[in-house]
Chain A
Amino acid sequence: MNARTKFSVIGKPRRRVDARSKVTGLTRFADDLVLPRMLHAKLLRSPHPHARIDSIDTSRAERHPGVHLVLTGKDFPVSFGIMPVSQDEYPLAPERVRYVGDPLAAVIAKDEQTAAEAVELIEVKYAPLLTIATPEEALAHPEARIHEYGENGNIHRNQAYEFGDVDEALAESDHVFEDLFFFQGNTHLPIEQHASLAAVDGEGKLTLWSSTQVPHYIHRALARALQMPAAHIRVIACPNGGGFGGKCDLHNHEIVVSRAAIRLGRPVKICLTREEVFYMHRGRHPVLMKFRTGVNKDGKITGMHLQTLLDGGGYGSYGPASTFYTGVLQPVTYELPRYKFEACRVFTNKPACGPKRGHGTPQPRFGQEVQLDKIAERLRIDPAVLRLNMVAKPNSLTANWLRIGTIGLAECIREVVRISGWNEKHRKLPEGRGVGIACSAYMSGAGLPIYWNKMPHSGVQLLLDRSGQVTVFCGATEIGQGSDDVLAAIVAEVLGIDAYDVRCMTGDTGLTPIDLGSYSSRVTVMMGNAAIQAAENLREMLAEAAAEHLEVLPDRIVLAQGRAFLADDPGRGIDFRAAVELAETKHGTLGSVGSYTPPRPPARYKGGGVGPSPAYSYTACVVEVEVDPSTGWITVPKVWIAHDIGRSINPVSVRGQVEGSVYMGLGEALMEEQVFRRLPPKLSNALVHRIPSLLEYKSLTSLDMPEVETVLIEDPDPNCPFGAKEVGQGPLLPVMPAVANAVWDAIGVRIDEVPITPDKVLEALEKKAKGENPRVGPEHFPAVPYPEPIFVAPPWEGGDGNAQKPPRRAKEAVTS
């Protein structure tokens, strides 16, 4: 199938199958749902960043007219968390609040206004605890401990890996570059605020409709949180009004409305306010990074030592995975003979960080790509050429034992250099104008699920009946990226029908086979492969039945253009519906299933499960900037980007994902930040989100968004459906470093942190004028008590993928 080159649906620019419903306003997002006798919920949230709850008095709220129920922590004895190792949240905090916005009570009332009024009537007595505001404070103050679990004190996760002797590699290098970078936290900002509606049906079973990207994980976690059999819970993921990773956790309010609906026997809905969405967060971790990179004269990297420190906020969330992702994908882009990474995530009294588009990888990608620019500058090598010379090899293993398949990065670099006019621009534009280049890689789906099991990651079921109707069921979730369209297109291609004739039933744990969810750019590859398998099974049944009717062998039958006909005699055939009727007569009720499980990763060391993917996508990006030397004001006139997609299922959607990634990347590069305000400690304990609003959290408007020129590189990957790799996340990654590198080209200053704002540019320019290092960025990396690294020899140094004793330590043992 993958070898095919001629398609009827795949690769054709098409109206996506759910577009009509979106442009008519008929798409039902969670908050659009209304049920008879529906009640409304509102949460009471902590005004303290860190406090013990001494008492909660709900009596006045309960007596408020129109109030049906008030819930507090005592109604939720079981903790929850999205990963098995981070069961550290409660739907309503029972004893302790850990950030301003942490919910501790809920009111369910006849309408939202009444619920909000009653929330104000709940009286809480708090005993404030020491506020931990920053990672430095978290490291310095093991007490007050925000959680009673984790490595120790306020360190949540702490890990170290070494793939080959990096110190030795650096010692033998021509140059060693040491740089610090900081990536400020930012948030997803979907325009749709999270909403959930829970209802109990006549059989006493619960249905939860929610803006979630991961109905299966929610289903599992909800069963545990509510202590109910999963068979009695149905989770329906409504189409999301944007997700970007922000709807991947089980959220407090989802459990609260579920419990309330069960308790009251009436539907209960909640829709978060924008401020509350900022509190749910789970967005990009602020990460401080230290890179030590060895380079030879020719610009080839000899080894890299990366240290990261993540500000995790008040809860675990996906933090254990995020911590890994600040390191594990570094070796996928360029050849890296030896690699060491140490990563530490700490708890602080702020909303929890988690997975945002690129999950943990944009931060180190920023650092490495800016450092490469510095290396190129010092070695007097063109930054595009430097990168081109060390693109990772296809069908290879990385130092940390990730298996790479196809790589279109070299082609991406060449294309983006060509269309941007790089060779005429770089180092050649007048003062104040410049271009920067950066590259990246991203995975097409995580190789392992978030809970340990060996079952498929995606299942697809197909139903055909004599009317010719094709229905496809899959747990995948439409978050705007176009997953329903991918599903319909793949089924349609295999069965030779029109994509609009396929009905998609998705994201419903009561109806659809399990798909792990819309995260880690996994859906096209995993759901797509499962869909091909299911559709191929049915195609065979149809072909057999048609062949029997046409009195030929089944392998002569082609299904295309809504017909089943002879490959060598297209005039002889029957229409699709007739083929289905024949098949139903021959085989009985028609249905088929397909499953997909990613290949087993080659790594065998503990922790080697994070990073493997069936395929990696690659991107190269050039950004042009104009910088006003008197104010530091930055303008981006144009962005050029080339993405290695493998193959486009629907090029309209693919381009949309690339341009949307550039949009979000420019926001992160230039203005978006989730930052906090601490009041003078003598006067107040407050530690609040500075700007929890759509006005003050700056998302680019159409007037701020430059033109983007996109090139898609198509080199089909054999692990992927029709060769299609991911596109939802990878193209975001190179944007931020390309902006930073362009600022350097424009005015000769280095901004080693994001966002890159005009005040920082001006500060760097002032330093430059004074003859100081023209750089703004972190100056200091704190002493982090990283553990002894797990040592794994890279594949080319005789390793077998297992951890082993480090050679150095072995040497020391001999000498002592």
Chain B
Amino acid sequence: MMRLPWFRHYAPRLLAEAARILAGEGPQAMLIAGGTDLLPNMKRRHQTPAALVSLARVEGLKNISNGSGLALGAGLTLSAVVHSAAVREKYAGLYQAAAQVATTHLRNMGTLGGNLCLDTRCNYYNQNYEWRKAIDFCMKKDGEICWVATGSKRCVAVSSTDTAPALISLGAMVRLVSASGERELAVADLYRNDGIDYLARKPDEIVTEVRLPSAAGWKSSYWKLRRRGAFDFPVLGVAAAVKIASDGTVEQARIALGGVASRPFLVDKAGELLAGRRLTDEAIAEVGGLVASRAKPMDNTDMEIYWRKSVVSSFVAHALKEVRGDDMRSTRLRIARQEL
């Protein structure tokens, strides 16, 4: 049986207390919420924190509050996000993303904040200690070289969060709290394109809340590419959010990608390309081409690299057609293997 290494465990009740412990313990401590990402990594000795600060009992991290937009506590399980009527009705892209994370069981455990902070993934990294030893490790952990791109100076492990691209397309913000204060960041700015140092979150900061702007006039969609209908991380995630004016033209649009870089990111110029136009097949194809050119998958996930790149424009089209109001149910069923 794979087992965790030894660690000290803290279970604070108050956010301030959690922040204080985290600051006091220093970089040897890590936060644990649902544990679905951290514990497998610890079993594989990717991370061996001396202390775990549990957020499970911290009060106030599981709220859902409606305002002009929607505020979601980072401690909400992904199931809670999926079951939220507000999310389902107004932020379809987030609902579709959260509903496709891993499996029912893991969504009952994993949190929204945890999914945002998900460690980057790589077929050379997400392996047991013994396996990694057999390749003499890699630069992300215990080694020197990036085996995916041996000439690369930076780690190219892949951002594999589903909710982040959806939230980026929706223009969401995250709140970060530490012993020394708090700040807000656009979700897009939470990430760096570096497989190792992939988060702008400081080690003593706790992601406490996700704030979504008003959804009035917006429609969103998320399409995930993976081999199976459950378990698998995305090898491509396309999130689109579009605000359509009363005349049927695009007022504002955002397309974000996941699974094709070390961070989820907003595709520059995709919004501009669509603004003022109707979502015609031609416009969709044009933006699909643009988005595809920005996707740079690496050969470190499931499925063939060139094929993954070649299907990006199709996935962009699926997302935009769904936003446009096309009946995408049979396509969705074929790709997601479930209704969403």
Report A's interface with B, CB cutoff 8 A. 45, 47-48, 100, 112-113, 116, 271, 273-275, 626, 628, 630-633, 635, 671, 677, 679-680, 683-684, 686, 688-693, 695-696, 698, 700-704, 757-759, 762
Contacts and interface: CB of A to CB of B under 8 A. Distances in A.
Nearest to B4: A113
B142 interface: no
14 contacts: A45-B130, A47-B133, A47-B134, A100-B134, A630-B311, A631-B311, A633-B335, A679-B135, A686-B135, A692-B128, A701-B229, A702-B229, A757-B304, A759-B304
A632 B308 CA distance: 11
Contacts of A692: 127-128, 131
Given A47-B130, A700-B228, A690 B123 contact: yes
A759 B314 contact: no
A688 B228 contact: no
A693 B311 CA distance: 26
Chain A interface, DSSP helix/strand/loop, else mixed: loop
B163 to A, nearest CB: 19
Given A631-B314, A686-B135, A698-B302, A762 B130 contact: no
A48 B228 CA distance: 32
A466 B240 CA distance: 77
Interface in B293-340: 302-304, 306-307, 310-311, 314, 334-335, 337-338
A703 B228 contact: yes
B307 A758 contact: yes
Contact of A695 (B134, B232, B310): B232
Contact of B338 (A112, A274, A632, A703): A703
B327 to A, nearest CB: 16
A703 B230 contact: yes
Contacts of B126: 693, 695-696
A633 B334 contact: yes
Contacts of B306: 759
Instruction: Please classify how large the interface on chain B is, using the bins under 10, 10 to 19, 20 to 34, 35 or more.
Output: 20 to 34
Interface of B: 1-3, 123, 126-128, 130-131, 133-136, 145, 147, 150, 227-232, 302-304, 306-307, 310-311, 314, 334-335, 337-338
Contacts, number: 92
Contacts of B3: 112-113, 116
Given A47-B134, A679-B135, A759-B307, A671 B314 contact: no
Given A47-B133, A701-B228, 13 more contacts: A47-B134, A273-B128, A275-B130, A631-B310, A633-B311, A679-B147, A684-B136, A690-B123, A692-B131, A693-B127, A698-B227, A757-B304, A762-B307
Contacts of B310: 631, 762
Contacts of A48: 134
A701 B103 CA distance: 10
A49 B128 CA distance: 17
B150 A680 contact: yes
Contacts of A696: 123, 126, 302
Contacts of B131: 100, 275, 688-689, 692
B40 to A, nearest CB: 9
A116 B4 CA distance: 11
A686 B134 contact: yes
Contacts of B1: 112, 271, 273
B200 to A, nearest CB: 28
A677 B135 CA distance: 10
A698 B337 CA distance: 15
Contact of B231 (A626, A671, A701): A701
Nearest to B102: A695
A459 B3 CA distance: 43
Top 6 nearest A-B pairs (CB, nearest first) are A703-B229, A759-B307, A759-B304, A47-B134, A703-B337, A701-B230
A116 B130 CA distance: 11
Nearest to B136: A684
A315 to B, nearest CB: 18
A100 B228 CA distance: 28
Contact of A683 (B145, B232, B314): B145
Contact of B334 (A630, A635, A671): A635
B228 A698 contact: yes
Nearest to A635: B334
Contacts of A691: 123
Contacts of A680: 150
Contacts of A632: 307
Nearest to A193: B1
Choose among A113, A689, A701 the residue with the greatest number of B CB atoms under 10 Å from its CB. Answer: A701
A273 B2 contact: yes
Contact of B136 (A626, A686, A695): A686
Contacts of A701: 228-231
Contact of A275 (B128, B303, B307, B311): B128
Nearest to A31: B1
A698 B335 CA distance: 16
Contacts of B337: 703-704
Given A686-B134, A690-B123, A626 B2 contact: no
A626 B302 contact: no
Nearest to B301: A696
A690 B302 CA distance: 10
Given A688-B131, A701-B230, A759 B302 contact: no
B231 A695 contact: yes
Contacts of B130: 45, 47, 275
Contacts of B228: 671, 698, 700-701, 703-704
B53 to A, nearest CB: 23
